[in-house]
Structure 1
Amino acid sequence: MSDHGAPFDYHPLTEAEAGGETGWYSWNLVDRTRYNTAVLGELRVRGEGDRCRLRMFPERRHTNLGDNIHGAATLGLIDIALFATMHVIGSGNAGPSVTVELSTQFVGAGDPDRPLDAVTEIVRETGRMLFLRGECVQGEDVVTSYSGIVRKMKLRPAGKAE
């Protein structure tokens, strides 16, 4: 895994920091006032062969009135997982790109007392597009299945508006 110069706090975690597991990296924005970290909290990422696993640790603020993980928190995790996958196992920087499409099927309730993992694979990557699919899981329990398309954007020169 390489850094690709992304604006992420992307560094290996010790086994102690990763709860006794190995191979995890921090996946948090350097600017912690932005959505990823400010709303979803601390995120962890690791590559698992041809898949990327992005983990969040739900808190009460991520729950709905039924005391399950709110669908919006799950959708936020999935959207971030698309870019984490592009960065960790794809060929591109997870930087200036946009989600073109996201299709999600909620198939189970998320338990706020267990980590929620978005496990994503790349179906196809072209020069400008990335086609992905995955599942949000808690252990063997599937919470959502999803597919998405990301369009990779060109870096804009500093000071130039499009």
Structure 2
Amino acid sequence: MDAKATSDSLTSIGWRQRSLPGFIGLVGPLWTRKEESVWAYGLLATNEHTNPAGVVHGGLLTTLVDHALSSIAWESSGRRACVTVQLDTQFLSAAREGQFLEARGRVVRATSSLVFMQGEISVGGSAIVAASAVLKMLTSSASASIP
């Protein structure tokens, strides 16, 4: 599929491409979409995202779900910086080059210092990754702006 046509198609249904600093910027480009009161995160898989077997690398899938869950926790905690202290990932199916990966998550519980999350990555409406995470909220002096 033509990259421009894919970009146009994603944009037409509300996805916006984001250029972000740091590690996530190296694996992107990342796409975002506001869905009611939460954000969804996406990535168009390219050949650069695949492993020698020709499927999207598990490390990329883990990175995407970690970014999504961290960002959702950040937003729900009043934009306090959060770091992942535990991430459990189950790979349910493979993704391939050309597929659009959609990551979503939700807060299960939040305490004064921890946020418990659940999330998934799907392709075409079918879950390919399930994940749960525990994130530690940093003190306000350590908080940063997280896109």
Write out per-residue CA displacement over residues 131-159 of structure 1, whole angstroms, 9 at most, x where no aligned residue.
110111001222110100111101337xx
Q: Verify the 8 A CA contact 2:105 2:118 in the aligned structure 1.
A: yes
TM-score (ref. length: structure 1): 0.73
**What is the identity, as a one-letter code, of the residue corresponding to 1:44?**
W
- Of 96, 114, 119, which aligns to 2:99? 114
2:23 is aligned to 35
- Of 55, 65, 68, which aligns to 1:78? 65
Higher relative contact order (CA 8 A, sep 6+): 2
1:92 is aligned to 78
- Of 46, 56, 73, which aligns to 1:69? 56
Write out per-residue CA displacement over residues 9-67 of structure 1, whole angstroms, 9 at most, x where no aligned residue.
xxxxxx95942112x455442x3xx21111x1111222324653110111211101121
Write out per-residue CA displacement over residues 71-113 of structure 1, whole angstroms, 9 at most, x where no aligned residue.
000001011011221244x13326x321011011101001221
Aligned pairs for 1:23-62 (under 5 A) are: 24-29=15-20, 31=21, 34-38=22-26, 40-49=27-36, 51-62=38-49
**What is the identity, as a one-letter code, of the residue corresponding to 2:110?**
E
Q: Verify the 8 A CA contact 1:105 1:144 in the aligned structure 2.
A: yes
Number of equivalent positions: 136
Q: Verify the 8 A CA contact 2:50 2:56 in the aligned structure 1.
A: yes
- Percent sequence identity is 26
Using the alignment, how far apart are the partners of 1:91 and 1:98 within structure 2?
12
**What is the identity, as a one-letter code, of the residue corresponding to 1:35?**
F
Counterpart secondary structure, 1:145:
strand
Using the alignment, how far apart are the partners of 1:60 and 1:155 within structure 2?
40
TM-score (ref. length: structure 2): 0.80
Q: CA 1:92 to 1:83, structure 2 compared with 1: closer, same or farther past 3 Å?
A: farther
1:3 is aligned to none
Q: CA 1:28 to 1:122, structure 2 compared with 1: closer, same or farther past 3 Å?
A: farther
Q: Which has the higher helix share?
A: 2
